[in-house]
Amino acid sequence: MLSIIQAAGWPIWPLIICSIIAVALIIERFISLKTSKIAPPQLLDEALTVSRHAVPSPEVVKQLEQSSELGQVLASGLRVLNTNPKSSEADLRAVMEETGRTVAHRLEKYLSTLATIASAAPLLGLLGTVIGMIEIFGSQGSTTGTANPAQLAHGISVALYNTAFGLIVAIPALIFWRYFRARVDAYLLTLELAAERLARHLVNLTK
């Protein structure tokens, strides 16, 4: 591996940094976007159950809020009724939508960075390719009129290794970015539907 890095020259170092960042972000997003942390499957049913006959106490609402991102959205609606039992449906929806936007921002954290790496890595590889080509042509322009084989080989190595490494970094970054993007969109839809269902339930509860 070290010999490849040496053969690729200095242009490969930005790609190595990008690859390290991409791996770190992928691992972090896998940990942070677990279903148990975002939208536990039974949480909505539990929230509907505890609020079947009356609005839960602030202690129960706080526990719900701390359970997950979905719990935070649902708890925001329940907290409105704890504060003002006569709140309208519009008030409930407005508060839960605002909380949902905050949650959405957290779910999308680092995705733009991963997308930037996926877009920039091929360009960095292309930069290394251009630098390699410059070295190749530079080796052709020696004062003796003959090519320098060592410099020619080095230029080819820089060009090919950087092109390949740029694609090696970009392809997984793009795949994981699309995967996490789809996963976040699915979570956001789940949160939206759950908030809608709880809002209808709470409106009927206060009638």
Domains identified in the chain, total number: 1
What is the H or E stretch that residue 191 is in?
Answer: helix 149-206
Range of the domain at 140: 2-206
Stated pTM of the model = 0.83
Would the pLDDT of 154 be above 80? no
Q: Which one is predicted more confidently, 162 or 138?
A: 162
Highest-scoring range by mean pLDDT, 44-48, 132-136, 144-148: 44-48
Cα–Cα nearest to 21, from 106, 103, 107, 115: 115
Highest-scoring range by mean pLDDT, 37-41, 54-58, 152-156, 176-180: 176-180
Q: Which one is predicted more confidently, 137 or 130?
A: 130
Would the pLDDT of 144 be above 60? no
Would the pLDDT of 10 be above 80? no
Residue 10 burial class via C-beta count within 10 angstroms: exposed 0-12, middle 13-18, buried 19 and up = exposed
